[in-house]
Amino acid sequence: MYNIDSSNELPTTYSKKREVSIMKRMNNYQRVANYLVKIFKNINEEFYNNELEIPTITIQSTVSAYGHVSVSKVWSTDDGRATHELNLSADYLNRPIENIVATMIHESVHLYCMQAGIKDTSNNGVYHNKRFKAIAESKSLIISRHEKYGWTITEPSEATLEFCIKYGLEDIELVRQSSFSFGGVTGTGNRGTTTPIQPPKKKGNSRKWVCPKCGCIIRSTRTVNVICGDCNETFIEV
């Protein structure tokens, strides 16, 4: 689990070079697809010591859930290599990046449990048990109980946000306007299923700052006084 610096302070200078990748806006499908692969690799490095098998990451419409993983290895190549599918719903891609990351971590926990032979769900993957809750919370998530679906309601924590800041992750500006999309139904996916879940409303703590001269972007969990090392300008909250 990534430990938060108790001070939550950012450096007083911030290099423009570090922000080059962030400046590429995530509003192109191919770029977003590659970006999600990058995020999963960051998750694998941060929480699993790069020991998780890499799934095939897809972007498909699943309006009843934020994401899912397949129980079986449903993707295969001509040379015989097979992988699980990890899908992010195209209908909810433009949520705050910490929520996208929380969904991917949720699904990574299922992948870990399948790989380790841990039974983390029952009822055909619908009910999430306390084993899932414990492992997910050790990976920076906040997990709450749903009356019907168990310990599946997933929220990002301060540690999740710090993870996003550490790896320089930015919001995705692309979403599929499905004719079946509707507000209020949310939920992160289950092993092989998609289940609508209504999580409790919680105000996000993510703050975004931009250098007024060069446009560099940073995030923080609190009010900070940061000066751009290239322009000597104070970052402004946006």
With respect to residue 113, please indicate whether it lies within any of the assigned structural domains: yes
Angle between helices 97-116 and 130-138 (to 10 degrees): 120
Q: Where is average pLDDT lowest: 19-23, 42-46, 128-132, 182-186?
A: 182-186
Output the pLDDT for position 179.
54
What's the whole-number mean pLDDT along residues 126-132?
A: 93
Helix (H) or strand (E) holding 103: helix 97-116
CATH number of residue 44's parent domain? 3.30.2010.10
> SS3 breakdown of the chain: % helix, strand, coil, rounded to 5?
30, 25, 50
Compute the distance between CA of residue 101 and CA of residue 105 in angstroms, rounded to an integer: 6
Q: For residue 153, give both structure tokens.
A: 């309601």
With respect to residue 132, please indicate whether it lies within any of the assigned structural domains: yes
With respect to residue 219, please indicate whether it lies within any of the assigned structural domains: no
For residue 135, the enclosing domain spans 24-202
DSSP string computed for 142-159: EEEEETTTEEEEEEE-HH
With respect to residue 124, please indicate whether it lies within any of the assigned structural domains: yes
pLDDT by residue (tens digit) across 149-200?
A: 899 999 999 999 999 999 999 899 998 886 544 333 233 444 444 333 344 4
Compute the distance between CA of residue 124 and CA of residue 118 in angstroms, rounded to an integer: 14
Output the pLDDT for position 231.
84
Q: Where is average pLDDT lowest: 88-97, 120-129, 147-156, 222-231?
A: 222-231
Give strand ranges (E) for 90-172: 121-122, 127-128, 141-146, 150-156
Number of domains making up the chain = 1
Output the pLDDT for position 13.
36
Q: Where is average pLDDT lowest: 19-23, 46-50, 64-68, 129-133?
A: 19-23
Q: Judge contact between 199 and 144, C-beta under 8 A.
A: yes
With respect to residue 6, please indicate whether it lies within any of the assigned structural domains: no
The alpha carbon of 139 is separated from its chain's Cα centroid by a whole number of angstroms, namely 12
* Global confidence as pTM: 0.72
